[in-house]
Amino acid sequence: MALLPSLPAQSSAVLTVAPPPKIAARRGAAVEARLAVQLQEGYHVNSNTPSEDYLIPLRLSWETKPFDVVEVAYPEPKLEKYKFSPQPLSVFTGDFEILTRLKAPEGAPRGPGILLGKLRYQACTHNLCLPPKTVEVRLPYEIR
Amino acid sequence: MALLFSRGMALQALAVSLMLSACSSGSGTAASSVKPAEQRRAAPNFTLRDSEGKLARLSDYKGKVVLLNFWATWCGPCKIEIPWFVEFERRHKDRGFAVLGISMDDGWEEVRPFLSEIGINYRVLMGDDMVGELYGGVDALPTTFLIDREGKIASVHIGLVSKRRYESDVEELLEPAAGSAGRRAGSGAAAVLTGAK
């Protein structure tokens, strides 16, 4: 099968998502997709489990078809202290990876495709915050 | 939420944008960052709704020193500054001073509980991207403009800065001799808040 054209990095301001490598899935079997995220130095994003109710969590969501999303596994967050918060905050910084476990149902159509996902995040530095943003993620796949 | 634009606002937004690069500050020293009167540009007028649904215009505050603070409930650094602004409003409101908060949240649902929780004693308006663009593309929060009695932007602070710096700026603008009144003579400009309908 011909290779899909390489995809540009998917980015939004201070956060960049590397184009995820193509996954090959067998019908009825689970498969993992790794999403490499790079955050500009000096910034942090709230983890998927923020320390405070008012903070907006990082969240990766996927279209449901043709795969079943078994699990989205986030990295272990860091607890960091910032001058605007009396308590350490649960954050991600630098480069990190989000793992998604997918399963192609028995009846899933064979062939290639692109699974669409959305990564929502909200970034801050030690003294300012940027509005929440959403990066569209395109995961190439082939179901055999 | 309403935002009413008038002629010339695009040019004003451009002017503010250019000015941002010249007078924004992020450090924490207490030295005043108020610009000389002749270098100040008119603050773009806007009309937005407050938490009670009433329309508020910047031009309503003509003749007052206004601290215009862009913030959001999800912004940690903003929450450090807000109690300072509550204090400034209480201390200086009888001297022709007003704080105006512009929330950049998605709606009042998130904001109203916060207003009660913090006990905000000044007017808070619901902003949007358009008013942000009008002020040079407000993206980073907090962003705060200090507007003099003539409706001109005297200083801009992007990000969390020290309380002392705000105090210094506010005092300078409220002080009749050294502040805007003294500078007014040099500027030769009439009191303006252009763009008001």
What are the structural domains of chain A?
13-143 (2.60.40.1250)
The beta strands (E) that lie in A68-110 are given as 68-73, 78-80, 89-92, 95-103
Find the mean pLDDT for residues B66-83: 97
* 3-class DSSP assignment, residue B164: helix
pLDDT confidence band for A44 (50 / 70 / 90): very high
The pair of three-digit structure tokens given for residue A35, joined into one six-digit string: 């999403």
Mutate to test the interface with A, among B160, B161, B163 (most CBs of A within 10 A): B160
Residue B172 has pLDDT above 70, yes or no: yes
Residue A98 has pLDDT above 90, yes or no: yes
- Closest Cα in chain B to A126: B77
What interface predicted TM-score (ipTM) does this complex get? 0.85
pLDDT confidence band for B175 (50 / 70 / 90): confident
- The shortest CB-CB distance from A130 to any of B26, B139, B161 is to B139
Report pLDDT for B33.
87
Report pLDDT for B190.
29
Strands B97-103 and B152-158: unpaired
Q: What is the pTM of this model?
A: 0.81
Residue A11, beta-bridge partner list: A16
The Cα A101–Cα A67 span in angstroms is 10
Kindly list the residues from chain A whose CB atom is less than 8 angstroms away from the CB atom of residue B73.
Answer: 54
CB atoms within 10 A of CB B155: 26
Report pLDDT for B31.
64
pLDDT confidence band for B30 (50 / 70 / 90): low
- The shortest CB-CB distance from B77 to any of A54, A56, A128 is to A128
Q: Which residue has the tokens 């190439």?
A: A140
pLDDT confidence band for B196 (50 / 70 / 90): very low
Give A33→chain B minimum CA distance, Å: 30
Residue A85 has pLDDT above 60, yes or no: yes
B139: nearest Cα among A78, A125, A114: A125
CA distances from B7 to B12, B45, B48 (A): 10, 11, 17
> Are B76 and A130 within 8 A, CB to CB?
no
Kindly list the residues from chain A whose CB atom is less than 8 angstroms away from the CB atom of residue B129.
Answer: none
Report pLDDT for B17.
42
- The shortest CB-CB distance from B73 to any of A54, A124, A128 is to A54
- Contact in structure between B173 and B146 (CB atoms under 8 Å): yes
Give A122→chain B minimum CA distance, Å: 9
For chain A, the first-to-last Cα distance in angstroms comes to 12
pLDDT confidence band for A39 (50 / 70 / 90): very high
